[in-house]
Amino acid sequence: MISILDENFTQLNTFIQKLNPTQLLILVDENTHEFCLPILLGNLETEIPFEIIEIEAGEEMKTLETAAQLWEILTEFKTDRKALMINLGGGVITDMGGFVASTYKRGIKFINIPTTLLGMCDASIGGKTGIDHQFLKNIIGTFAEREEIFVYPDFLKTLPFAQLCSGFAEMLKHGLIADKKHWQDLKNLPELQPENIFPFIETSMKIKENVVQQDFREENIRKTLNFGHTIGHALESLFLKNSTPILHGEAVALGMICETQLSFLQNLLSAEETEEIIAGILKFFPIISIAQFTDNEIVDLMKNDKKNAAGSIKFSLVTSIGKSTFDVSVLPENILQALNFYKNLG
C-alpha cells in the first residue's frame, strides 16, 4: 500500500496502532533529522517507546561498515522481531534501513516515509534493499517488501534543487518505459518546482508499483525499470570511486541519454522519438563531462551489472515512448558509439 499522508499523519498513527509493535526505530540522516523528524514526531500519537538512529547523509554511507554499526545499535537496544523500523529519508535511508531491517534477526518489519522525490517515486517502492561494496552500486542486498509507504509531499519543500532534479529523472524514466502521457506531462513542465511536480508523484509511484506487482523478484518485466541504469550505475560508481560523487538521478539521466541512443543504434527506436527523448532529458539535465573515464573503465563496470547473464551485458531499452523491452544483448561497438555520442554532446 501507498498512503498519501494528511496534515495530522492520521494514516500512519492508525497503522502503528493496529500493528502495535514492541518498539519503534526511526532511522534518519542529519538532514532528515533537522528538517523532517520534528514534523514526524510532532504528529506521532503513540506511547510505544522509540529510538532515533542517525547516520551521516550521502551515498558514501551505504556500506557494510554502516550496516554493521546499525546491527550493533539494534542489539544494544535489545530490539526484538516485533519491533518496527521507520525509514525517514531518501533513497540511501530506505535502501540501508530496509537492508538492515530485513537481515536483523532474519527480518523485522519496516515502513518507508520517503522525504526526497527520488525516495518517493523510486527507492521506497518495490522491496529492493541494498548497499554498495567496492564502489559497486547495490551489489549486496535483499528483496524485502516494506509493510507500507507513507508519503508527505510537503517534505519536498525542504529539498535542495539538485535533489529535486535527481528524483525527477526516475519520473521521466517511468513515462518513457510505460506511460507516454506521463512523459509528455513531465516534459512540458515549465520548470522544476515542488508545486509543479506534486500532481504527478502518485502517477509515477503507481507506474512502478504496477510493474513490481507483476514481477517482484525481477525475473522479467521489472527489468524495464533499469532503463538508463546499466550505463548510469557504471558512471555513478566511477564518480564515487574518484571521490567526486554525482547524484543518482544525474547518473540515470546521463544513462538514459546513452541508452536512448543505444536503442536507436539497435534499430529499436525511431530517429524522431530518439531526438524527442534526448531533447526532453537535456531540458532538465545539463551534460556532465565523463571525459576522465576511458571506455574500458565504463564497460568493465557494466559487466558487473546485476541484470547480466553468462557474461553478456543485458540492457533494458525503449522501443517507443511509453514502451520498453529487456534482456537485450547489444553489439559492443554500439555501446561505445552511444558513450561517444554523449561525450560529443558537450
Q: Describe the crossing of helices 161-178 and 271-282 by its angle, rounded to 10 degrees.
A: 160
Judged against a pLDDT cut of 80, whether residue 208 lies above it is answered with: yes
DSSP 122: I
Which pLDDT belongs to residue 79?
98
Looking at 100-114, 307-321, 329-343, which range is the least confident one? 307-321
Which pLDDT belongs to residue 222?
96
For residue 139, give the H/E element and its range. Answer: strand 136-143
Which pLDDT belongs to residue 213?
94
**Percent of the chain at pLDDT above 90?**
92
pLDDT in tens, 153-199: 999 998 999 999 999 999 999 999 999 999 999 999 999 999 999 99
- Catalytic amino acids? 106, 128, 170, 208, 218, 222, 226, 229, 233, 248
Q: Does residue 231 contact residue 300 with C-beta atoms inside 8 Å?
A: no
pLDDT in tens, 119-145: 999 989 999 999 999 878 889 999 999
Take residue 68 and report the three cell numbers written for it: 554493521
Which pLDDT belongs to residue 306?
67
Residue ranges, comma separated, of all CATH 1.20.1090.10 domains in the chain are 161-344
pLDDT in tens, 211-257: 999 999 999 999 999 999 999 999 999 999 999 999 999 999 999 99
Which pLDDT belongs to residue 69?
98
pLDDT in tens, 20-34: 999 999 999 999 999
d(C-alpha 202, C-alpha 188), whole Å: 18
Judged against a pLDDT cut of 90, whether residue 5 lies above it is answered with: yes
Residue ranges, comma separated, of all CATH 3.40.50.1970 domains in the chain are 2-158
Sheet (strand 24-29) strand order: 2-4, 149-151, 109-114, 84-89, 24-29, 50-55
- What band does 310 get if pLDDT is binned at 50, 70 and 90? low
Q: Give the CATH number of domain 2-158.
A: 3.40.50.1970
Which pLDDT belongs to residue 305?
72
Which pLDDT belongs to residue 98?
97
**Fold classification of 161-344 (topology level):** Dehydroquinate synthase-like, alpha domain (1.20.1090)
Distance of alpha carbon 215 from the chain centroid: 17
d(C-alpha 135, C-alpha 132), whole Å: 6
Q: Does residue 211 contact residue 179 with C-beta atoms inside 8 Å?
A: no
d(C-alpha 145, C-alpha 160), whole Å: 29
pLDDT in tens, 67-123: 999 999 999 999 999 999 999 999 999 999 999 999 999 999 999 999 999 999 998
What's the farthest any 2 CA atoms get from each other in the chain? 62
For residue 329, give the H/E element and its range. Answer: strand 323-329
What's the Rg (C-alpha) of the chain? 20
- The chain-wide mean pLDDT, for the chain, equals 95
